[in-house]
Amino acid sequence: MAKLLGASTWEAELYEHLTSHEAAEAEMLAEYREVATASSSKAFRYLSDLIIEDEIRHHRIFRDLAAALKNDVEIDPEEPAIPNIGDWGHDAATVLRLTETLLGHERDDAKELRRLVSHLKGLKQESLWQLLVKLMEMDTAKHIEILKFIKRDARKSLE
**Of 73 and 110, CB closest to Fe ion:** 110
Residue 113 makes CB contacts below 8 A (sequence gap 6+) with 133, 136, 137, 140
* Site stretch for Fe ion (CB under 5 A), options 31-39, 55-63, 86-94, 146-154: 55-63
Among positions 17, 33, 58, 63, the unique one binding Fe ion when judged by CB under 5 A: 58
Question: Are the beta carbons of 92 and 152 closer than 8 angstroms?
Answer: no
CB of 59 to Fe ion, least distance (A): 8
CB of 80 to Fe ion, least distance (A): 22
Q: Does 33 bind Fe ion (CB under 5 A)?
A: no
Binding mask 115-144 for Fe ion (x = CB under 5 A): ----------------------------x-
CB of 98 to Fe ion, least distance (A): 14
Query: Interface with Fe ion by CB under 5 A: which residues?
Result: 58, 143
